[in-house]
Structure 1
């Protein structure tokens, strides 16, 4: 293999950090930090599921506490797998979590974030505008009859903004880019723009498909308007987040996703 030099990115952007995890201990520290970063989102989404689970507790073969525990453990394990994949493969294809990596080795985080915050903020503004525009076009089946049943903001921020990015961008997109790099370039050189683009698109599509079960639960059925709305809406933002990850680093995608939910929430 011929991985990119530390500090480079898959698109050839300006370096955003000076350190990549180079030892097993450093990789374990990065994995632990990222897993802990995504864990509050796991707790938040399980907490949000408590009311519907409690309402249907009589239908479950296990006690409510066991259902809740298993649900949380399942998501936490998936998060651990995604984090592990990213920590293992990201340095090989020029992807990184530069701010977290800098913090773990005692380097200043501010200079690293300066290269990420503006693209992240612009991505968040674009995402919030997109979410607001989409909400005007949402199928009736996806509009909650009771506004109080909508997903709490804390879940959108912690799970949607952070945990989803670790699962989809850090885990899935990194894996897609590594596979494309190995297949198209035999693992040599830095991933080309076409390989990066395919990884961004595929991960955005998978990100969108992952929202279909929740849409089905809300709408009752996956009709064509519901599927089209969910796919178009989420693929578009997935492309933005994927580009930010490839170009600037994981934290830029995190900033954009969190900010998109934060700014759009009062408007929806």
Structure 2
């Protein structure tokens, strides 16, 4: 197993850069979440700064942990981040990133279409409506308010957590186990990478269940639907991380949400 990781000092700088980038999304999520916390009677007595700390604490801790895990494993498995490379004194290929932008945006839009088709197929079994026919101005305002959270936390922070912090460690562990059982390889084989892609994608889907459970009663069909739809997105993003870069996956994730918000806004206004 080859060691392509930078020296610890350089790696630490890369980890700090990714953590700072991820905190942008944490801040967006916190700002969006505080009004919900203020509506809870037990928390309403707390000051706004205290509520901000409460809302940000868990996400910040997770971000630090998963950035550290990815920093140890991603460079060793050949998974690449331009931001990490730049901060750690490596050679970020920004031209390659720019060339990947059309692919990222296009794949984000295509995956949205695929997920929508799957959601329609599951609708008879879950009872969920794709567009709530309310025409409620409050629902539209909440959708608009969620845009920074969707683009920054979803597009940036979730990719750092799930791809950098989950997919890379899974690939590293699976590659190590494979090298113990078979002939050693200098880079992870495609089979190992696909295991990591799918496993992290399923984790991405499972991670959406707690939020769903706060609104709906979880049924078997709803659980399968939620994991499958989000895992479909996760597989596409994991492939981009593997074949392009972490930042390319971020752009695709953000593009997915841009299309989602646009369609949802139009649907809310029409219906």
Contact 1:141 1:218 in 2 (8 A): no
Q: CA deviation at 1:174?
A: 0.6
Unaligned runs of 5+ in 2: 265-271
1:83 to 55, 67, 87: 67
Structure-1 separation of matches of 2:199 and 2:92:
34
TM alignment of 1:52-131, pairs within 5 A: 52-56=36-40, 58-60=41-43, 63=46, 65=48, 66-98=50-82, 100-102=84-86, 105=89, 109-131=93-115
Q: Which runs of 5+ in 1 are unaligned?
A: 6-20
Is the contact made by 1:127 and 1:260 (CA closer than 8 Å) also made in structure 2? Answer: yes
Distance 1:256 1:175, change over 3 A: same
Instruction: Assess if the C-alpha contact under 8 Å between 2:11 and 2:88 holds in 1.
Output: no
Q: 1:62 to 1:75 in 2, by over 3 A?
A: farther
Q: Deviations over 1:59-85 (max 9, x none)?
A: 349835434313302211110111111
Alignment of 1:28 with 2:12, yes or no, is: yes
**What per-residue deviation string (whole Å, max 9, x for no partner) do you get for residues 93-144 of structure 1?**
1111035524764867532314432331232122232354456565555766
Alignment partners' CA distance in 1, 2:164 and 2:21: 12
Give the distance between the partners of 1:236 and 1:108, measured in 2 at CA: 29
Aligned to 2:260: 264
Q: Deviation string for 1:175-223 (max 9, x for gaps)?
A: 111110111223752111111111101000000000001111122x112
Whether the 8 Å CA contact 2:14–2:88 is kept in 1: the answer is yes
Deviates more, 1:195-204 or 1:183-192: 183-192
Q: Give TM-score scaled by structure 2 length.
A: 0.82
Distance in 2 of aligned mates of 1:51 and 1:140: 29
Q: 1:208 to 1:28 in 2, by over 3 A?
A: same
Q: Are the structure 2 counterparts of residues 246 and 107 from structure 1 closer, same or farther at C-alpha, using a change threshold of 3 Å?
A: closer
1:38 maps to 22
Question: How far off is 1:87 after superposition?
Answer: 1.3
RMSD over aligned CA atoms reads: 2.6
> How many positions carry a matched residue from both structures?
250
Q: What whole-Å deviation, never above 9, does each CA across 1:208-265 have from its counterpart, x for those lacking one? A: 000001111122x112232122111101010000111111111111111011111221
